[in-house]
């Protein structure tokens, strides 16, 4: 089973979140994960078409996804939307921003809408809201995994609880993709 994580990160904070999603997905036996930074240029459309699930990630910039992730979405029209290459694949999303709220929800809505336009099946977060800063889902969102980074380096932020939240989402995506795959095989 293959899970692709397509993400952007200007300064490395959202990249930490992407790595946490990958670590969570790898907890599910038989899961291979590929991390795809959109800034790398040439995109592996064949790998994406072969994936069981695609997780989208972006820093929240100006209350929405980064321009680089938006460009990826627009560029996917010919390789993915026209042939409906991602139809019925599992999709999920994560975002990170400087403020606790920071209008992160709008970034996740943008990703979920994009996934719906691609005919994908969106998976949200199945976590109660955290009660302490150490709890998973301390930011308290459900459409995807949210993280908050202050001005410190990506070595120290986002905090462990937000990375645990991201890992939880990655594991959930892998579990659900595995169930769907088993159902298709039956």
DSSP 121: E
- Selection from 131, 120, 111 nearest residue 14 by Cα: 111
Contact status: 12 vs ligand FMN (CB under 6 A): yes
- Candidates 186, 133, 119; CA nearest to 164 is 133
For ligand FMN (CB under 6 A), the number of binding residues is 18
Among 29, 41, 62, 185, binds ligand FMN (CB under 6 A): 62
Rule CB under 6 A: say whether 14 interacts with ligand FMN.
yes
Closer residue to ligand FMN (CB): 15 or 125: 15
The residue within the footprint of ligand FMN, chosen from 79, 98, 130, 159 (CB under 6 A), is 98
Is 112 buried (19+), middle (13-18) or exposed (0-12) by CB count in 10 A?
A: buried
CB atoms closer than 10 angstroms to residue 104: 27
Tokens of residue 44, six digits = 């592996």
Element containing residue 176 per DSSP (H, E): helix 160-185
Report how far residue 48's alpha carbon sits from residue 84's, in angstroms, rounded to the nearest whole number.
Answer: 12
4 binds ligand FMN (CB under 6 A): no
Residue nearest to ligand FMN (CB): 102
Interface with ligand FMN (CB under 6 A), residue from 13, 136, 138, 168: 13
C-beta of 12 vs 133, nearer to ligand FMN = 12
Nearer to ligand FMN, 59 or 141 (CB): 59
Residues 139-178 that bind ligand FMN (CB under 6 A): 149
Chain residues 117-146 in contact with ligand FMN, contact rule CB under 6 A: none
Q: What is the DSSP string of 16-70?
A: HHHHHHHHHHHTSTT-EEEEEEGGGSS--HHHHHT-SEEEEEEE-BTTB--HHHH
3-class SS of residue 167: helix
Binding residue for ligand FMN, selected from 5, 6, 9, 123, defined by CB under 6 A: 9
Q: Which is nearer to ligand FMN, 59 or 170 (CB)?
A: 59
Q: Which residues bind ligand FMN (CB under 6 A)?
A: 9-14, 59-63, 96-99, 102-103, 149
């Amino acid at each position: 089973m293959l899970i692709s994580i397509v993400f952007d990160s200007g300064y490395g904070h959202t990249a930490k979140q992407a790595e946490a999603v990958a670590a969570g997905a790898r907890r599910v036996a038989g899961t291979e994960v590929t991390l795809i930074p959109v800034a790398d240029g040439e995109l592996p459309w064949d790998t994406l078409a072969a994936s069981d699930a695609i997780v989208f990630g972006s820093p929240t910039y100006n209350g929405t996804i980064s321009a680089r992730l938006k460009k990826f979405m627009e560029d996917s029209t010919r390789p993915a939307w026209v042939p409906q290459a991602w139809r019925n694949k599992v999709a999920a999303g994560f975002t990170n921003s400087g403020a606790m709220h920071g209008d992160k929800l709008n970034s996740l809505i943008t990703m979920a809408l994009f996934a719906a336009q691609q005919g994908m099946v969106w998976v949200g977060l199945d976590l109660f809201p955290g009660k302490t800063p150490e709890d998973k889902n301390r930011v308290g969102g459900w459409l995807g995994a949210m993280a908050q980074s202050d001005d410190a380096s990506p070595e120290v932020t986002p905090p462990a609880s937000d990375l645990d939240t991201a890992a939880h989402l990655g594991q959930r995506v892998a579990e659900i993709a595995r169930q769907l795959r088993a159902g298709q095989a039956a």
